[in-house]
Amino acid sequence: MAPVIDKLNKVKLWQKALVLVVLALALVAYFNYMQWKPLEQKILAAQMEYQELDRKYKEQKAVADDLQTFQQNTKKLEEDLRVALTQLPREKEIPTLLRDIYTLGRKSGVEFKTFQPGSESARKLYAEVPIKLSLVGSYHEVALFFDRIGKLSRIVNVADIEVTSSTGKDKDVTISVNCTATTFMFLGSGG
């Protein structure tokens, strides 16, 4: 052990100081990368989680503070949904709607030449159900029929209208109408 101490005594002071500084820096670097960095990452993750929880808390507190308004809005949305469902029948109500359209035509005085429901085409929340119609009647009968269709509680769009007129023996003008009446069916939850 004495030879080692003799060798250390022969090393110059500035070299001893340099070795001491290098060892101190190595110790600090080790402590920084092995201890502080993981702790810093945990602190950052905890801060982000705290901010997210604080944001959720503030949102929920705002709802709780305004619970009565929230409940009123919920009731209004439920009422709006109920009204929308009366305008968009579910699948089991489509035959009734088709029967209603046919009955309206007969009451209006038009004669159906073709009444052909088509295949439905699905969208995201609803499906379109086209009905090919070919009908004959006077101008007023056809207009009354379309007016009554427009007053149905359910949504029915009439498109692709082709009108031709003809004069009968008694000089009565009748018109023939080919069109597509499209109704809509609700496919959302519970449909």
CATH number of the structural domain spanning residue 173: 3.30.70.60
Q: What is the mean pLDDT of the chain?
A: 83
Q: How far apart are the first and last CA of the chain?
A: 92
Helices within 37-124 (DSSP H only):
37-65, 67-87, 94-108
pTM for the structure as a whole: 0.53
Asked if the model's pLDDT at residue 94 lies above 90, the reply is no
Q: Is the pLDDT of residue 85 over 80?
A: no
Mean pLDDT of 18-43: 86
Report whether 115 contacts 130 (CB < 8 A). Answer: no
Quote the CA–CA distance of 176 and 135 in Å, as a whole number.
6
* Pair (93, 58) in one structural domain: no
How far are the Cα atoms of 29, 39, 50, 62 from residue 33, in angstroms, in the given order?
Answer: 6, 10, 25, 43
Same domain, yes or no: 92 and 155: yes
In this structure, what are the phi and psi dihedrals at residue 125, rounded to the nearest 5 degrees?
Answer: -110, -10
Range of the domain at 123: 88-186
What was the pLDDT predicted at 73? 85
Mean pLDDT of 157-169: 85
Residues 168, 105, single domain; the answer is yes
* Pairing verdict, β 126-137 and 121-122: antiparallel
Is residue 114 within 8 Å of 132, Cβ to Cβ?
yes
